[in-house]
Amino acid sequence: MIIGIMGAMPEEVAQLCEKLSDVQQETYAGVEYYRGSLAGKQVVVCCAGMGKANAAATTQVLAGRYGAEKIIFSGIAGNMTSKIGIGDVCVGRTVVYHDAQNDMICQSAPFLQEFPGDETLVNAAMQACERCGVKAIAGKIATGDTFVGDAETKRLIEEKCHPDCVEMEGAAVAQIAARNGVPCVILRAMSDNADEDGYEVLVVRDFSIAEYVRTATAIVETMIESL
């Protein structure tokens, strides 16, 4: 079994790459792919880049070129719920676009307006969170191509799809994975509250996300052990 592991930013996959053994590196279509072993499983780890187009293209490469049989996307997100807080995790039981015409998108494969996370992978992620001592929920993740960093945008997204967190890649990963018949799950550690304070910290100050990535990395590694 080959497991594809993705992130959007180099920081989101660097710690995982450091844990790989027997590594082979290849650059394909502008993305570096690291093939190796993690917890005794064959994996391909890559940084897709930010946004839906990058995420979709890289998911297709993982499925088509590298034969990934399962895909895990791990990264950070803006919190949209009171059920969890900064540093906690949302596992994508459902992933949806907040900035798309979903009734038109669903007219082509996989013919869905919302994309369910694979039940086995969702359960494995939740169990991994528990073993790592991380508070987590299995919830709804909303995806769009704009960083959400103001209260008004956050309110509009909340009214449209009522998500537990917001980010920039998950639905594209889930859509293309589903088109290829590849089980997938999206994991997000909360780095901010998708408001003005979050924009100031993450964008204006270019704040290090290493703390939140450490959480996600530990969860992914624990998941891989159980698969």
201 secondary structure, DSSP code = I
Active site residue 12: yes
Two structure tokens written together for 53: 């187009």
Which residue among the candidates 150, 192, 197, 211 is catalytic per the annotation? Answer: 192
3-state secondary structure of 200: helix
Two structure tokens written together for 79: 């919190």
Taking the C-alpha atoms of residue 143 and residue 166, their distance in angstroms, rounded to an integer, is 6
> Contact 14/216 with Cβ under 8 angstroms?
no
Two structure tokens written together for 221: 């590694």
Residue that has been written with the tokens 């650059």 in this structure: 27
Give start and end residues of each alpha helix (H) in the chain.
10-18, 52-64, 102-105, 119-132, 151-161, 170-179, 196-199, 210-226
What are the C-alpha distances in Å from 204 to residues 14, 65, 191, 207? 23, 37, 15, 8
Computed from CA positions of residues 218, 220, 223, 227, in that sequence, does the dihedral angle turn out positive or negative?
A: negative
Which residue among the candidates 12, 118, 169, 195 is catalytic per the annotation? Answer: 12
Two structure tokens written together for 181: 């018949």
Active site residue 26: no
Catalytic residues: 12, 192
